Amino acid sequence: MSQKISLTRYLVEQQRMEGHIPSQLRLLLEVVARACKRISQAVNKGALGGENSILGTAGSENVQGEVQKKLDIIANEVLIEANEWGGHLAAMASEEMDGIYVVPNRYPQGEYLLLFDPLDGSSNIDVNVSIGTIFSVLKMPEDDRGVDEGDFLQPGRQQVAAGYCVYGPQTTLVLTVGDGVAMFTLDREQGSFVLIEENVRISPDTQEFAINMSNMRHWDEPVRRYIDECLAGQEGPRGKNFNMRWVASMVADVHRILCRGGIFMYPWDKREPDKAGKLRLMYEANPMSWLIEQAGGAATNGHQRILDIQPTKLHERVSVILGSKNEVERVTGYHAKL
Ligand code: AHG
Ligand code: MN
Ligand code: MN
């Protein structure tokens, strides 16, 4: 094959060709990628860190009442330390922090806002199954003096970059700046991310679904109908058999869908009826939905395109249905018939 293209070169060429990645955004993406490299190294060490083992719980809870793992906190710190001094950001927000983190006065402030789920799939850390980091980049509203939480509350369609890094058999960074989806795998000998695919596309049809089936009795009617019809297979109304996968790391499930199609759902359910869903809108659903749309797929909450939802709070939750277009439209259509 011809020469390998590094993430740095890809971004420089994007900046040149499209002219729509300003240098600050390019720097931001490089810094996020560097942080992901460090998190990947920590993930790889596992129990070998001795007293500093990254496995196990940290003995604390986040704002959402979830027990924090050591790696949740380590990954959060790595992302903050890497990003706070470069001058490209005004503030950051994370699943693991109650409020926003404003870039300290001692550093210059930039015009971007970075949101992240530092470690997605926490329940898989201790059992050596794929986990990841998800990120979303927004711009500060124009003429805004002093950053606050309200500046983050922008619908997902206003993202200027989004991506994730999956720490699996390979460490792979997947990125969009609004011009399709590109994938880069970490070459550990070179120490850099290398382009492996430039124009990721999701087929509109699929025979594979991803949902936590143990929640079936709590689902709403449209979701139950859709899964019942998949399970009925060849003899049922769909006339074809379906396969099922559930990694319980959204990053890994979405990555599989970007690689070979499929539909992913974490819908609202009756366990906690007051919550819109389990997943978080701003740093899980929005970046993943934009990637999926950029690859030709679709993402809704059953009623509305996820990227059009106007957030009302930083840690807002949302019902998520995303992946192969025709299947997502089918489930969304079932909701409309209610
Ligand atoms: P996080 O580890 O960041 O809290 O996210 C976990 C999420 C998501 O990655 C995954 O799809 C889902 O939780 C799994 O939930 P269940 O354990 O309920 O299946
Ligand atoms: Mn997560
Ligand atoms: Mn997380």
Axis crossing angle, helix 23-45 with helix 7-18, rounded to the nearest 10:
160
What residues line ligand 1, using a CB cutoff of 6 Å? Answer: 66, 95, 117, 120-123, 212, 248-250, 266, 278
Series of mean pLDDT values for 10-residue runs along the chain (338 residues): 87 83 95 98 86 77 79 95 96 97 96 98 95 98 88 98 98 96 97 96 98 98 98 98 98 98 97 95 98 98 98 98 98 89
Mutation to probe ligand 1, out of 266, 269, 318 (largest number of atoms < 8 A from CB):
266
Give first-to-last CA distance, the chain, whole Å: 53
CA atoms lying within 13 Å on the CB side of residue 43: 30
Task: Point out the ligand 1 atom lying closest to the alpha carbon of residue 64.
Answer: 4
> What residue segments make up the domains of the chain, in order of their start?
7-197, 208-336
Mutation to probe ligand 1, out of 278, 280, 282 (largest number of atoms < 8 A from CB):
278
Residue whose CA lies nearest to ligand 1 atom number 12: 248
For residue 145, what pLDDT is reported? Answer: 77
Mutation to probe ligand 1, out of 63, 120, 244 (largest number of atoms < 8 A from CB):
120
Distance 117 CA to ligand 2 centre (A): 6
Nearest ligand to the CA of 249 is 1
* Cβ(305)–Cβ(299) below 8 Å: yes
Task: Point out the ligand 1 atom lying closest to the alpha carbon of residue 251.
Answer: 9
Task: Point out the ligand 1 atom lying closest to the alpha carbon of residue 279.
Answer: 7
The answer for residues whose C-beta is within 8 angstroms of residue 49's C-beta and 6 or more apart is 42
For residue 156, what pLDDT is reported? Answer: 98
Distance 75 CA to ligand 3 centre (A): 9
For residue 66, what pLDDT is reported? Answer: 77
Tokens of 14: 């994007």
Residue written as token pair 């366990």: 271
Q: Kindly report the CATH number that applies to the domain delimited by 208-336.
A: 3.40.190.80
For residue 17, what pLDDT is reported? Answer: 82
Residue 170 phi, psi (nearest 5): -120, 160
CATH of 7-197, one of 3.30.70.1400, 3.30.750.24, 2.30.30.90, 3.30.540.10: 3.30.540.10
For residue 332, what pLDDT is reported? Answer: 98
For residue 338, what pLDDT is reported? Answer: 63
3-state secondary structure of 252: helix
Phi-psi region of 245 (alpha: psi -120 to 50; beta: other; left: phi over 0): beta
pTM assigned to the model: 0.96
